[in-house]
Amino acid sequence: CPQSVAGKFFSCFFGISGIALLGAAVANIGSRLVAAEVNVMQEARKQSQRRLLQIYDKMPKAILKIRRANNKHQTKVLQEAKDLIASIPHPHFPPFMTTFWKAARYIIQSLSVVALGGLLIGRLEGWKWYDSLYYGLMTASTIGLGDFAPQTKAGRLAAVFFIPMSVAAAGEILAS
């Protein structure tokens, strides 16, 4: 367990950033898996189209005559299908700065819950302010080294409410 103020701040920073980096790594791996799946699906679609064209080209001449007679109807059906596909709305992605400020707002709100809860319990326990912040961040990140724990009844009662809220706030940070 860290003994110095610098060690405690390093533990908080390392704990929070490590969780964020792990989340980013998992998201990166997930994105790559999705991209690979999309590529496989596109390749399967191309192969399926090639196979259908091969089957279609090998049809008997009598069926080809029927196909030519119904060409106008097929063209109409194909146009209706294209119009239907074109009418499906495409997803709209917000600009980067809008997304950034929205994420920053959630992060600040969540960190406020963690910091204020830690400071409240630290006040009830008589801890120094940096020990209180350390406790709040270590608890929210679920690292909890056990070097700080509420000992008073009021501190424990506050912890009953603070711990689930701080873990949820940390989850909100990761989600944003």
Q: pLDDT tens, 49-76?
A: 877 776 666 656 556 665 666 666 767 7
pLDDT tens-digit readout, 163-173: 999 988 888 87
Q: Count CB neighbours of 134 within 10 A.
A: 25
pTM of the model: 0.52
Angle, alpha carbons 68-69-74 (nearest 5°): 75
pLDDT tens-digit readout, 4-31: 888 887 887 777 777 677 777 777 788 8
d(CA 166, CA 164): 6
